[in-house]
Amino acid sequence: MLPAFPDGLRCRAMSAEDIPALLPIENAGQPTPWTAQIFADCLCPGYRCHVVVAGEGSDETPVAFQVLSHVLDEAHLLNIAVHPDWQRRGIAATLLQHTLAGLVAADISVLYLEVRESNLAGRQLYERLGFALTGRRKDYYTRPGGREDALLMLRHL
């Protein structure tokens, strides 16, 4: 059985109307954040985009999101973020557990991701969820004052 989202939150498919509310979440967590156009480009076939929301109807507020791409039986986690005010509540872990279950149901065999070497919380989360370190992309990410390696991780499903 999959864990429930904390605090009465729920997950649904991302829509173009969500993008303005996602940009502050993205900007808070990324030194080189995605633009609205990048989010919009991901709302097409070949991607799985979800938001975690608090509230209902017109009071609904996105607190987290994720974007995956998929081709044949492989998926790639492109982006995941939780609003700073909602971090450390298990939202990202729950979102990823639901995602993994959905990928298994869709006959996806592996999920790949890159994570900043400095993102210790992200790395620990992925390791707890069964991802294994498989490589490194030297100077993959831009950051203030230089570049940073990406660690490549994967999980067989």
What SS3 class is residue 82? strand
Q: Which CATH number fits domain 6-111: 3.40.630.30, 3.40.50.1370, 3.40.1280.10, 3.10.20.340?
A: 3.40.630.30
Query: What does the block give as tokens for 23?
Result: 């940009």
Give me the catalytic one of 114, 127, 140, 141.
114
Give me the catalytic one of 26, 117, 126, 140.
126
pLDDT at 8: 86
Active site residue 141: no
Could you report the per-residue pLDDT of 119-134, keeping only the tens digit for each? Answer: 999 999 999 999 999 9
pLDDT at 32: 87
pLDDT at 1: 82
List, in order, residues 6 or more apart from 33 with CB less than 8 Å away: 23, 26, 27
Torsion angle of alpha carbons 151, 85, 34, 150, nearest 10°?
Answer: -10
Query: What does the block give as tokens for 104?
Result: 């298994």
pLDDT at 59: 86
Could you report the per-residue pLDDT of 89-109, keeping only the tens digit for each? Answer: 999 999 999 999 999 999 999
Weakly modelled stretches of the chain, pLDDT under 50: none
Pairing of strands 110-116, 132-143: unpaired
Active site residue 126: yes
